[in-house]
Amino acid sequence: MKPLRSVLLLALLVTLASSAAARPVTTWDKQIKGPTRFQVLKDFGGAAVLDKETGLVWETSPSADPFTWEFALYHCATLAVGGRAGWRLPGITELLSLVDPSVPPPGPALPAGHPFTNVQTNVPKFVYWTASNSPFETGATFAWEMNFVFGALSVTTTDKSATLLAWCVRGGNGVDPQS
């Protein structure tokens, strides 16, 4: 009985080690600077980017069409980028993870070496929705939003009936801790 247990334990350890090696390593505790932080994904036809610092996968080129908050959620949920579904609107902390606060206006306030295109910085179409409800408003009718002109300096709340932009993401926990 003991040899069988050893064989099963060894098989389990090999399986765990191989699946862990296949997962991207995230380094939320480290800052990756320059172009090595981002990897354009060939399996997505170049339409998606892996952020090696967070493990999140972003659209390479977010839509320039404005949406109400509900339609932004719908847009991301029904999106197929690089032939893949499973997209969602990011939470406020996830969207902020793309901000480099040292980039001066007019931005975009993205890290050096980023591969993103079509990130809007022109007034009035430069504000992006997040999936995070505002904790400051009652009735959950407001959500967090931010713009990439001023980056982290411009995080505010907006009524969900407003029309703003959506930048969709895959991966992560997908939980909205603000609601």
Average the pLDDT over 60-71 and give the result. Answer: 95
Q: What Å distances lie between residue 52 and 35, 78, 143, CA to CA?
A: 10, 25, 27
Render pLDDT for 80-122 as a digit per residue (tens, 0 to 9).
999 999 999 999 999 999 998 888 887 788 998 899 999 988 7
Q: Per mean pLDDT, which range of 3-12, 57-66, 97-106, 121-130 is the poorest?
A: 3-12
Task: Enter the pTM of the model.
Answer: 0.79
**Closest by CA position to 97, among listed 59, 145, 34, 152:** 152
Domain ranges of the chain: 32-170
pLDDT of 12 > 80? The answer is no
Class of domain 32-170: alpha beta
**150 versus 88: which is more confidently predicted?**
88
